[in-house]
Structure 1
Amino acid sequence: MPVLLMVLAAAYGAAAGLLVPRPAYRLAVEPGEAWRAHCPGGHPVAGVWRGWVGPGRCRSCGSYGPRAVPIALVTAVTCALLAAVTGLRPELVAWLAAAPVAVLLAVVDWRVRRLPDVLTLPLAGGAVLLLGGAALDTGAAGSWGGALLGGLALAGFYYVLYLINPEGMGLGDVKLAIGLGVTLGWYGWAILITGAFAGLLLGALYGCGLLLRRAGRPERRNDGLKQAMPYGPFMIIGAFLGVLLGAAAAP
């Protein structure tokens, strides 16, 4: 059953990942701009549900947005690993539902340094609802109350960081922290702290890499580091690692 579960989760992840490029293209715009409704060639982005669901390819002029195959591969591997460590526990439904949304958020933030509310808030709400349902099953390995407290705690922590340095930390990161805190808090405070620290550490390492790279380019030494650094992907990777650890350690 574990192998079959992994295969099914990977297939689901691959299918969901193939649908990521279209919304990623539409949502990857600067603040204040409307979501893209046309491909680079000027053709309308048509499809199911007002053009949000479908392949990232214009029938008239070809593809747009990020490449679909790498994203599908990442999403498939992510879902397979979640299924491998979580098993048939009821919270797996929440993890598999959140994975494509998290990948989409990471892609958008990486491209335009932005975490749209239309993704972060449903991610948080969906995690609360799905984990609430999972908590009703006796086979669940976490705590719904802990998940709620985790969301509040991590969001509060990032809000403090935002108040300290609003130029380096955006409100989008704070809103993303709600959903990530809910998922990490499900497995307890130790996993919440571990996942949050992992995200901060990965972001710090990336920031150090940017500084070292710019040190060798005098013409860019005065560029603002925060303008070129998305925190969302690192927060998401840290939360993913925390969930894997929590699921593996759960009785």
Structure 2
Amino acid sequence: MTDLLPVVAAALWGAVAGALLLPRAAYRLSVPAQEPWRDQCPGGHPVRGWIGPARCGQCDEASYGPNALLLAAATALVCAALAAATGTRPELAVWLLLSPVGVLLAAVDFRVRRLPDPVTLPLAAAALGLLGLAALLPEHAGDWFTALYGALALGAGYFVLFLINPAGMGFGDVKLALGTGAALGWYGWPTVMLGTFAGFLLGALYGGALVALGRAGRKTAIPFGPFLIAGAFVGVLIGAYTA
């Protein structure tokens, strides 16, 4: 029963964060590139702040934006899985703080194919800063310097891909790779390679499924951020479990 408490607590945290903290930010950030962030609800009433539910007391249809239940379920599942793999090691707190941000970015990128700079760049800084604090605590199972090198290596690798094929790899993916590289690097270079491979594999499977269903062509661009995040989740999950 004791071993289940961190998992249950993590799931509850994920559900609360997904339902109450993410919907408004996801709605405001889900605009095409070059457009300003939303500052009004669909009914034209002002939307203030970034954190909180997407609800408007002045509209006939109070709720708007992405489905809060889906955000809550996704965040709860991610947090619970990471808690089960990590146990009570200090880095678990880092994963639980970063996971809602990853879900937010995946939701926005799926909706409008955009990874907002105000989220991706702070994510990278937060990942390195929080992991630096975790490295000072006993019983941690990672290495901060490898996290730093992982961030630089993955960011550089994605930057090269962006230069080679900017139509297929957005610069937002490059910035996101800094944060995911830090998380993967915490558990070592095998985890970096595993998470990177998983991201490309998941993206390829998704693109292949769209082509098979006739919903996309072979040259149709797909949002890669969600698969970059999913690959990092797979890598960190396995890295934490085997650490």
What TM-score do you get using the length of structure 2 for normalisation?
0.95
**Paired position in structure 1 for 2:230:** 237
SS at match of 1:63: coil
**Paired position in structure 2 for 1:15:** 16
CA shift digits 1:108-142 (9 cap, x unpaired): 00000000011101110000000001111231100
Equivalent-residue separation in structure 1 for 2:51 and 2:133 (angstroms): 27
Q: Match of 1:43, as an amino acid?
A: H
- What does residue range 50-89 of structure 1 map to in structure 2 within 5 Å? 51-61=49-59, 62-89=62-89
**Paired position in structure 2 for 1:206:** 206
**Paired position in structure 2 for 1:3:** 4
Equivalent-residue separation in structure 1 for 2:133 and 2:169 (angstroms): 33
Q: Match of 1:28, as an amino acid?
A: S
Aligned-pair CA distance for 1:81: 1.0
| % identical equivalent positions | 59
Q: Match of 2:239, as an amino acid?
A: G
**Paired position in structure 1 for 2:35:** 33
Aligned residues of 1:40 and 1:64 also touching (Cα < 8 A)? yes
Aligned-pair CA distance for 1:213: 2.9
Equivalent-residue separation in structure 1 for 2:233 and 2:138 (angstroms): 24
Equivalent-residue separation in structure 1 for 2:128 and 2:81 (angstroms): 22
Pairwise CA RMSD? 1.3
Aligned-pair CA distance for 1:87: 0.9
Equivalent-residue separation in structure 2 for 1:21 and 1:110 (angstroms): 14
Aligned-pair CA distance for 1:17: 0.3
Q: Match of 2:55, as an amino acid?
A: R
Equivalent-residue separation in structure 2 for 1:173 and 1:54 (angstroms): 26
Aligned-pair CA distance for 1:59: 1.2
Aligned residues of 1:24 and 1:108 also touching (Cα < 8 A)? yes
- What does residue range 171-250 of structure 1 map to in structure 2 within 5 Å? 171-214=171-214, 224-226=219-221, 229-250=222-243
Aligned-pair CA distance for 1:189: 0.5
Equivalent-residue separation in structure 1 for 2:47 and 2:51 (angstroms): 10
Q: Match of 1:56, as an amino acid?
A: A
Following TM superposition, where does structure 1 have runs of at least 4 consecutive aligned residues deviating by more than 6 angstroms?
A: none
Aligned residues of 1:16 and 1:72 also touching (Cα < 8 A)? yes
CA shift digits 1:169-228 (9 cap, x unpaired): 0100000000000000000000100000000001011112222233xx7xx75x9511xx
SS at match of 2:53: coil
Aligned residues of 1:127 and 1:179 also touching (Cα < 8 A)? yes
- What does residue range 47-196 of structure 1 map to in structure 2 within 5 Å? 51-61=49-59, 62-196=62-196
Q: Match of 1:54, as an amino acid?
A: G
Equivalent-residue separation in structure 1 for 2:44 and 2:174 (angstroms): 35
Equivalent-residue separation in structure 2 for 1:2 and 1:133 (angstroms): 24
What TM-score do you get using the length of structure 1 for normalisation?
0.92
SS at match of 1:57: coil
Aligned-pair CA distance for 1:84: 1.1
Equivalent-residue separation in structure 1 for 2:26 and 2:119 (angstroms): 11
Structure 1: runs of 5 or more not aligned: none
Q: What is the number of residues matched between the two proteins?
A: 239
SS at match of 1:58: coil
Aligned residues of 1:210 and 1:225 also touching (Cα < 8 A)? no
SS at match of 1:154: helix
